[in-house]
Structure 1
Amino acid sequence: MQEIKKVLTPIDFSDNAEKIASAAAYIAGTFKAELHLIFVAQNFEDYSGFFVPPVNLPNLEAELFESAKQRMVTFTEENKSTFENYEVQGVTSEVLSGDVAEEILDYAKKNDIHLIVMGTHGYKGLERIMFGSVADKVVKTACCPVMTINPYRTECEEKQK
């Protein structure tokens, strides 16, 4: 097995993002690895069969992309102490645009990622039915091992008691 020196963690800025990033930081720190955080902004083209896009769609996409970049800077800064506490060997963050699963897989391949750490839950409801599970697609086609984390695990354990 290849030595783990680069860990990729896709985040979605949901309530669970900090849990996933913290777990990934722990793993990256354990292996003295770099941590790569990415957010993928879904293209509106993927919804073209469901609605007629407004004329100013390119402007909206550009604004959402810029907003996501700002949010990534804030997220990385807010979690800086966690990354330092786990002794992560550097944090890279990036915002991409496109199909979420495909962009995660492309990033992993292009950046020679050794392990992907991601949450099992992201999209919910109708979006999950329409687009399928991102984690499922990544697990089935990734060029490296994938560790999935159920962010609701502690809630599941409490319900069983």
Structure 2
Amino acid sequence: MMEVRGMIDRILWPTDFSENSRAALPLVKSMADKYNSRIYLLHVEETLSNTHKLLGMLGKKEVDKLEKTLMKAGETELIKVGDEDLINCNLYRKEVRVGDIAEEILKVADENDIGLIIMSTHGHGPIQNLAFGSVTEKVIKNSKTPVLAVPADIEPQTE
């Protein structure tokens, strides 16, 4: 039987920077500390160029420009999260991607041999009141990597 420490040497924390997605952060930090894991911090911007309505209103050039702006904003926010929230974590990596959110999470997990994905059950998508976030559900159903889904309304435990 494989030792847990070896299995969880890389943790993926996908975030959309919402308070809901931040609910997973204390657990990410705790698990990374316990297993001396590297944290992969990921933000995915939804592909806008596939949104035909938006393409019709703005045109491809403007949509591409908007995607680049959103990516730059995502990179800036990831730096902020790393500097403020992961300051005591010795190993972390940041990445911003554009595409289908769940598919990109799964790709990053596969490409980086991630041992555990920790994510909130709800981000700030258009329909937050469903029992389970659609991105989280898609990741759980299609992942080869174990996924730990953290309820967005979880209260952090203090010792």
TM-score range, shorter chain: 0.7 to 0.9
Report the RMSD for the aligned CA atoms in angstroms: 2.4
Q: Any unmatched runs of 5+ in structure 1?
A: 155-161
Partner of 1:66: 72
Q: How does 1:15-26 map to 2 (within 5 A)?
A: 15-26=19-30
Q: Where has structure 1 moved over 6 Å in runs of 4 or more?
A: none
Q: Do the aligned residues in 1 keep the contact of 2:23 with 2:153 (CA within 8 Å)?
A: no
Shift of residue 111, structure 1, vs aligned partner: 0.3
Partner of 1:134: 135
- Correspondent of 2:10 among 6, 9, 21: 6
Give the structure with the higher percent helix: 1
Counterparts of 2:81 and 2:38 in 1: how far apart (Å)? 17
Q: Percent sequence identity over matched residues?
A: 29
How many residues were matched structurally? 148
In the TM superposition, what whole-angstrom CA distance separates every residue of 1:16-49 from its partner, at most 9, and x where no partner exists? Answer: 3433222111112111111111000111134325
Counterparts of 1:99 and 1:35 in 2: how far apart (Å)? 21
Counterparts of 1:49 and 1:127 in 2: how far apart (Å)? 23
Counterparts of 2:33 and 2:83 in 1: how far apart (Å)? 17
TM-score normalised by L of structure 1: 0.81
Q: Do the aligned residues in 1 keep the contact of 2:14 with 2:119 (CA within 8 Å)?
A: yes
Shift of residue 127, structure 1, vs aligned partner: 8.2
Counterparts of 2:128 and 2:150 in 1: how far apart (Å)? 20
- 1:57 corresponds to 2:63: yes
Moved more, 105-114 or 28-37: 28-37
In the TM superposition, what whole-angstrom CA distance separates every residue of 1:71-100 from its partner, at most 9, and x where no partner exists? Answer: 11111111133xx2xxx4501111111000
Q: How does 1:1-161 map to 2 (within 5 A)?
A: 1=2, 3-48=7-52, 52-55=56-59, 56-81=62-87, 84=88, 88-126=89-127, 133-154=134-155
Counterparts of 1:98 and 1:128 in 2: how far apart (Å)? 24
Shift of residue 57, structure 1, vs aligned partner: 1.3
TM-score normalised by L of structure 2: 0.82
Counterparts of 1:144 and 1:75 in 2: how far apart (Å)? 24
Amino acid in the other structure paired with 1:31: Y
Instruction: State the secondary structure of the residue aligned to 1:7.
Output: strand
